[in-house]
Structure 1
Amino acid sequence: MKQQAETVVKRTIRRHQLREMVPLADTTIYDMEQRGEFPQRFYLTSRCVVWDLSEIEAWLEGRRRASRAKAVKRAPIPDVQLRKTRPIKHRAQA
């Protein structure tokens, strides 16, 4: 049998496409990249930043698995006793 060579096409996405896939703020993504918790961006030109689509999809799948396994640390519930001010209640005007 003759084996056909598979062509691997690397696809990149730009920032607006990344935002559609990953609903995190730009600063959160940047901070996670700096800590090594998110796939690194790279520059195609001095003004064009992209991410590797397969790396983003793998990261999302890893986060999905970690969430299902309860391995993602969740934010603590805020302690309202530590508030310095109370929320203002607006009264309905007649």
Structure 2
Amino acid sequence: MRRPGLTRVYHANYCMLGRQSGDSISLALMAAVTCRRGPVPAPYNQIMHITGVYRAPAGANANNCRRAAGDPTHYWADLVDDGATLLCTAIYQGS
């Protein structure tokens, strides 16, 4: 949900916090963190890597985040900016 007067600019290759429960991840949309592996502050349990920020097509979902046919990466997607922007993320795998 976008609140008047409160916005965030997202950039590919930055990271944010996420809370994974099963195959679902809730993103801390206003949190920016260093991309690293290691302890994650509670109540979160994942560092999420922003893989792309795109103008959202109609019916946008995580399938729109794939970089190429056969891309095996598991993506999570969120619509931000009142649904105008597709935010693509994956669990951070770096060092």
Q: Structure 1 length normalisation: TM-score?
A: 0.25
The structure number with the bigger radius of gyration is: 1
Comparing both chains, which one has the higher relative contact order based on Cα–Cα distances under 8 Å and sequence gaps of 6 or more?
2
Please report the TM-score for the alignment, with normalisation by the length of structure 2. 0.25
Between Structure 1 and Structure 2, which shows a larger proportion of strand residues? 2
